Structure 1
Amino acid sequence: MEDRRKFFRVHDSVYLRYRIIESQYLDQAILDAQTSAEQQRKLLQSMADIDENLVALEASIKVNQPEIAQAIDLLKRKIDSLAGVVRTQLDPALNDKDGRAPLEVSLSAGGLGFSSRESFALGDMLDLTLVLLPEVKTVHGFGEIVDCQPEGQDQVESGYRVGVQFTYLAEADREIIVSHVLNKQSRLLRESKELGKST
């Protein structure tokens, strides 16, 4: 079942940034991505541990000192808001999406397809960053161009349909995509059933 999940695919709208990366720089880029992912994992785990301790303390404080509990809650909201601003500033994909429309893609945990004005050679390697909606979760990985076909007779106007196979994706990012795809499939199925009932 685990292996099959990467083939579940949906048509979706995401923010997408990509750049061609030369093969001689690929190993170092992947190593940098792994280091960044591990640092992020440790930070998230640390924050989760702090939250767990706070929940235990808040339960006691709410009973004995409700005003202090309310102040703590307001401070937590303020910190969450600041964290969101910092994340947007530090994450190029989140910071760069303003003013741009999401891109229509075909997405799975194994890769994605999208339309592009530029042509790619088979085997080109891409450094990819996706922002999934509506969760606004960022996924970073690397992929190989496995298909690039003109979408119409006039290539200048119609562009190309590009197929990318992920060659490196952190396990946490892969799980984010799998969860996103399954949730979207469930939502579409539910909407289809509701539409059927109303007709």
Structure 2
Amino acid sequence: MTDNNNQNERREYFRIKNWIIINFEKIDEDQDNQDLDDFGFKSSPRISLLQELSRLETENQNYLGSLTDKQSQLGNYLINMNKKMELLTRFVIESLSGNKDELREVDISGGGIRFKSVDPHPIDQLLKLEIVLVPECVGLLAHGRVVDCKPIEGTPHHEIALVFIKLREADRDAIVRHVFKIQSEQLRSQRPDNNDSTR
């Protein structure tokens, strides 16, 4: 049991640098007391759309898993429809992402996030975050608490570090999957070239 807990903690707090879309704004304690599924404020159309698409994709995967071999043609059709939906999702993201400043290099894990900001934020400031993981096009909502803020020498920016204080477990799992996917891709790219082609 302890080993499982330690493994979960390692997965949750394993970090990686990556470029994602992130928007944030200050909130107060009253707003933080609201349930994430409630949200006294409305999430952006992009996040709402991505979350609905993610829900539909999860349902589709469940349906595919229940198909028998005799229903393979229907399964192939649903797989193609799912791929089509993924392509449409990426197109929508590109269409809704007119502000290039949204794409930021971050240090992210299931436990928190670190990023650059022109505006400083005091320790313990609460922020509402809307995050889009790229290239998966997964939209997330979270509340974070500032735990560190320091100026970056020679620039007008500050490095802001937050811990997630409110995040759906499904969204945390999506971040963990994203982190391991990016790490795997980076490790593959760092491997020395195979010289088989020169033989």
TM-score when normalising by structure 1: 0.71
| C-alpha contact (below 8 Å) 1:94/1:131 kept by paired residues | no
Comparing 39-48 and 24-33, the one that deviates more: 39-48
**Structure 1 residues 44, 145: CA separation in 2 closer, same or farther (over 3 Å shift)?**
same
**Residues 4-40 of structure 1, C-alpha deviation per residue, up to 9 Å, x if partnerless?**
112211110000011111111111153516xx99x96
| C-alpha contact (below 8 Å) 2:57/2:82 kept by paired residues | no
Give secondary structure in 1 for the equivalent of 2:119. Answer: coil
Comparing 96-105 and 163-172, the one that deviates more: 96-105
* Unaligned runs of at least 5 residues, structure 1: 63-68
Take 2:23 and 2:35, find their aligned partners in 1: how far apart are those partners? 16
Take 2:161 and 2:170, find their aligned partners in 1: how far apart are those partners? 23
Take 2:152 and 2:81, find their aligned partners in 1: how far apart are those partners? 47
Residue 66 of structure 1 corresponds to which residue in structure 2? none
Tell me whether 1:19 sits opposite 2:52 in the alignment.
no
* Unaligned runs of at least 5 residues, structure 2: 1-6
Identity of aligned residues (%): 25
| C-alpha contact (below 8 Å) 1:127/1:143 kept by paired residues | yes
TM-score when normalising by structure 2: 0.71
**Structure 1 residues 83, 52: CA separation in 2 closer, same or farther (over 3 Å shift)?**
farther
RMSD of the TM alignment (CA)?
3.7
**Structure 1 residues 99, 119: CA separation in 2 closer, same or farther (over 3 Å shift)?**
closer
Matches within 5 A, 1:11-160: 11-32=17-38, 46-52=59-65, 58-59=71-72, 62=73, 73=77, 77=81, 80-81=84-85, 84=88, 88=92, 96-100=96-100, 102-152=103-153, 157-160=155-158
Letter in 2 for 1:158: P
Tell me whether 1:2 sits opposite 2:8 in the alignment.
yes
Give secondary structure in 2 for the equivalent of 1:194. Answer: coil
Comparing 42-51 and 116-125, the one that deviates more: 42-51
Structure 1 residue 56, shift from structure 2 partner: 6.3
Letter in 2 for 1:98: G
| C-alpha contact (below 8 Å) 1:120/1:145 kept by paired residues | yes
Residue 174 of structure 2 corresponds to which residue in structure 1? 176
Residues paired across the two proteins, number:
177
Give secondary structure in 1 for the equivalent of 2:144. Answer: strand
Bigger Cα Rg? 1
Higher helix share: 1
Structure 1 residue 128, shift from structure 2 partner: 0.8
